Copies of this chain bind each other. A is one copy, B any other.
Amino acid sequence: MSHSQSMTPVRYHKIRTLLSKRQPDLTLLLEEVHKPHNVSAIIRSADAVGVHRLHAVWENNRPLLRSTAMGSQVWVDMQRHSSAEDAITYFKSQNMQVLVTHLDQNAVDFRKIDFTKPTAIVLGQEKTGATSEAIAMCDYSIAIPMLGMVQSLNVSVAAALILYEAQRQRDNAGMYEHNRLSEEQAQLVLFEGGFP
């Protein structure tokens, strides 16, 4: 006890501070995002805006890689689902709006969305995009405007642009100024992180 106290007060303070900024009602669903460097970049951005837990649909026999370079720095959980339907049903049970990033004609500009509401955002696979099953279940399609020749952005870039728009709106709304994680959830994270 005195050992862990002398070893880690700075780190403990840092983690306490980041937990006080966490946004438990903001998350992403990665629908078969395959490339480890994309998954790693998405985890970094999610951590940076206070996402507490990410969700992913991926095959049982394919390991979802985390970049080892990130190591013990990573304090974002990843929850696996066997299908997009499963994940989206879960989000709806939590009264979240569910948005899918998809460049169709009816897609809403991402800056027009109210991200202060509880929100889950579905990101599609690098080549094929989000599945039609996911698109059919979501409340809106959202898109980031593109003014050039290229058809789509890198998936980790798209994720970050949307998350930082959410961060901007939530910051303006004062949502980073008080604890939004319960003390019970915070204690769980501290316990897993080795703080008794």
**A contact set with B: CB distance below 8 Å:** 14-15, 18, 21, 35, 37, 40-41, 43-45, 47-50, 70, 73-76, 111, 144-154, 156-157, 160-161, 164, 167-168, 176
Contact = CB atoms under 8 A, between A and B. Distances in A.
Contact of A73 (B21, B151, B168): B151
Stoichiometry, as copies per complex, reads 2
Nearest to A76: B148
Best-surrounded residue of A149, A164, A168, A176 (most CB of chain B within 10 A): A149
Best-surrounded residue of A75, A148, A164, A167 (most CB of chain B within 10 A): A148
Given A154-B156, A157-B156, A161-B160, A149 B41 contact: no
A147 B190 CA distance: 17
B157 A21 contact: no
A54 to B, nearest CB: 12
A35 to B, nearest CB: 8
Nearest to A72: B149
A170 to B, nearest CB: 10
5 contacts: A40-B154, A44-B152, A48-B145, A50-B147, A74-B150
Best-surrounded residue of A15, A43, A147, A161 (most CB of chain B within 10 A): A147
